[in-house]
Amino acid sequence: MERIAPLRLAESFDNVGLLLETPLKQSKRHRVMLTIDLTTAVVEESITKEASVIVAYHPTIFGALKSFTMANPLQASLLRCAAHGISVYCPHTALDCTWGGINDWLAEGIMGGNGNHALGTVRPLQVEKFSPSGDSEGAVGRLVVLQTPVTMSVLEKRVKEHLKLSQIQVGYASTRDGLRSSATVETIAICAGSGGSVFAGKKADVYFTGEMQHHEVLAAVAAGTNVILCGHTNTERGYLPVLASKLQTQLHAAAFDEPFDILVSNTDKHPLEFV
């Protein structure tokens, strides 16, 4: 995971890396479960499928803890993992920032997919991050500049297809002619998850993220920027199969004595539904 998304790329507020290390050694279990959130259902699935490690994108521990008890659902999940020989690793914003990470995956989707950068360019939205040797490793957010401007309706269709969603939320910038969905856009700022603070002070035709605060959306559309919101984890979950492939490649290169199975959770899902 460190080769895929170096932890030094994570934002300063974040809590990433190996957050739970089980004291139980499972020498005959070589299975990794990938998930966005460590829910009760995901823990049960991981125990049933005999995983030895869970890679949970969102950190399972953020603030200081004065106790670990079964009364708290999240703490209970971590305690159950430890008791069943499962460790938990969380990459979060390191996986957002790294080149080839979640934000680049989102960028590919709105440019037509398949990494076809001939349809546009992808730039850092904020300052690049560099390795100790001076190599560029990633950046916070992305700015897509389309080679050919498209209408909002075309962009909305690309987002839905890429994220496999039937519905998204759109805030249209005010236009004099009132033709909101037919307005053309060229620049799209991207941030997986919650993008309000990342977009602050950044100019683009569209802000594309999972969620923003109410007043952040109002300020954006008033300033002439369209907003596309898809639900926090809906902008992240589709990357898990990509991560599975990357992790399998790294584990194969490490030449372990036994092969590893990389599973994407079947029970991990967005907590809110349209009804």
pLDDT in tens, 69-112: 999 999 999 999 999 999 999 999 999 999 999 999 999 999 97
Nearest to 245 by CA among 109, 138, 100: 100
Nearest to 148 by CA among 205, 115, 186: 186
β-bridge partners, 90? 17
CB atoms within 10 A of CB 176: 5
Whether the CA torsion 106, 201, 93, 165 is positive or negative: it is negative
> What pLDDT score does 21 carry?
95
Residues 9-65 have pLDDT tens digits of: 999 999 999 999 999 987 778 899 999 999 999 999 999 999 999 999 999 999 888
Cα separation of 233 and 210, whole Å?
A: 7
The percentage of residues in the chain with a pLDDT greater than 90, rounded to a whole number, is 85
Residue 223 pLDDT greater than 60, yes or no: yes
Q: Could you tell me the domains of the chain?
A: 7-95+237-264 (3.40.1390.30), 99-233 (3.40.1390.30)
Residue 115 pLDDT greater than 70, yes or no: no
Helix residue spans in 84-195 (DSSP H):
93-97, 102-110, 152-163
DSSP state of 271: S
> What pLDDT score does 254 carry?
85
CB atoms within 10 A of CB 254: 9
Residue 175 pLDDT greater than 80, yes or no: no
Nearest to 64 by CA among 73, 76, 75, 80: 75
Q: Where residue 259 falls among pLDDT bands split at 50, 70, 90?
A: confident
Residue 116 pLDDT greater than 60, yes or no: no
Residues 136-169 have pLDDT tens digits of: 999 999 999 999 999 999 999 999 999 999 999 9
Residue 58 annotated as part of some ligand binding site: yes
Radius of gyration of the chain (CA): 20
Nearest to 220 by CA among 128, 211, 179: 211
Residue 117 pLDDT greater than 60, yes or no: no
> What pLDDT score does 113 carry?
55
Q: Where residue 179 falls among pLDDT bands split at 50, 70, 90?
A: low
The percentage of residues in the chain with a pLDDT greater than 70, rounded to a whole number, is 95
pTM of the model: 0.94
Q: What are the phi and psi torsion angles at 267 (to 5°)?
A: -105, -10
For 246, the 3-state DSSP assignment is: helix
The answer to whether residues 9 and 129 touch, using CB atoms and an 8 Å cutoff, is yes
Cα separation of 110 and 106, whole Å?
A: 7
> What pLDDT score does 70 carry?
95
Cα separation of 192 and 98, whole Å?
A: 12
> What pLDDT score does 273 carry?
87
Residue 236 annotated as part of some ligand binding site: yes
> What pLDDT score does 147 carry?
93
Q: Which residues contact 49 (CB under 8 A, 6 or more apart)?
A: 31, 33, 263
